[in-house]
Amino acid sequence: MRIPLFFLLILAAFSAKADPLADQQQLRQYYKKLFPSLKLADYAQGVYALDPIAKQSWLAINEFPPYEPALEQGKILFNTPFKNGRGYKDCFENQGIAIAQLYPLWDKEKGEVLTLAKAVNDCRLKNDESELNYEKGEIAAVLAYMTFTSREKEIAVKIPVDDVRALAAYQQGKAYYYQRRGQLNFSCATCHIENAGKRLRAEVLSPLLGHTSSWPTYRLKWGEMGTLHRRFIGCHQQIRAETPIAQSVELRNLEYFLTFMANGVPVTAPSTRK
């Protein structure tokens, strides 16, 4: 009896030895069989790559993108000096321009995953500025500008395989993705791997690949910009599960796993979603 690849992926999620590249290859083979007409770059469209009717509305909305005010605000905020005269550009490689595709990074010195959002707030704290809310508001605007400068660049997250701590963080993020939780007993994989392309009530479920490429996003449901971790929290609430806080270790490791899976998918943030 042939074992479906989906179940092999679940078993791999809890294996003792982390092999990120093998996981990535297995996942892409799975989606290639499931959606043979899609190219890797198509996954940046999220659910709109699978739902042609919704895609028409999405393209029409993006003729006048609702994220543009946040993008303009983010550019101003990014280029406004802190009270000490320094600014965001002093905290990042290449002055913070066209680097978003490289995040999350593995911070070898601290031994933890560093997301772009956390790097923004770390920069602020380093310069005696207050932290920004991790879910919405100014941080979403700053991230909108920074990711916009990386538009169309392929995601290129690295996991140093010679660092057992980095592999452990990746493995924890992967295990978190496959772990069932909440009153509905769903995992992330329940929707976005096992049932990708199927309908849950009126909604088509999007595939895992490319999930991190479009954030921050203007969600029509929210009526404003929000961050990836705000969306993570919303997913937990939908399945009635206990929710870690934004930029917790659990959610940063989850982002590390998801983004590595999306290597090669172009950055499309900021974007618009339902």
Structure tokens at 244: 């870690």
- Which string of DSSP letters, residue by residue, matches 231-246? HHHHHHHHTT---PPT
- 186 bridge partner residues: 181
- The rounded distance, in Å, linking the Cα atoms of 121 and 144 is 15
- The rounded distance, in Å, linking the Cα atoms of 175 and 256 is 12
203-204/105-107 β-pairing: unpaired
Cβ 272 vs Cβ 66: under 8 Å: yes
Minimal CA–CA distance to 157: which of 229, 247, 258, 52?
A: 258
Helix (H/G/I), strand (E/B), else coil: 84: coil
Q: Is 235 a catalytic residue?
A: yes
Rg (CA), the chain: 18
- The rounded distance, in Å, linking the Cα atoms of 97 and 243 is 32
Which sequence positions are flagged as catalytic?
Answer: 235
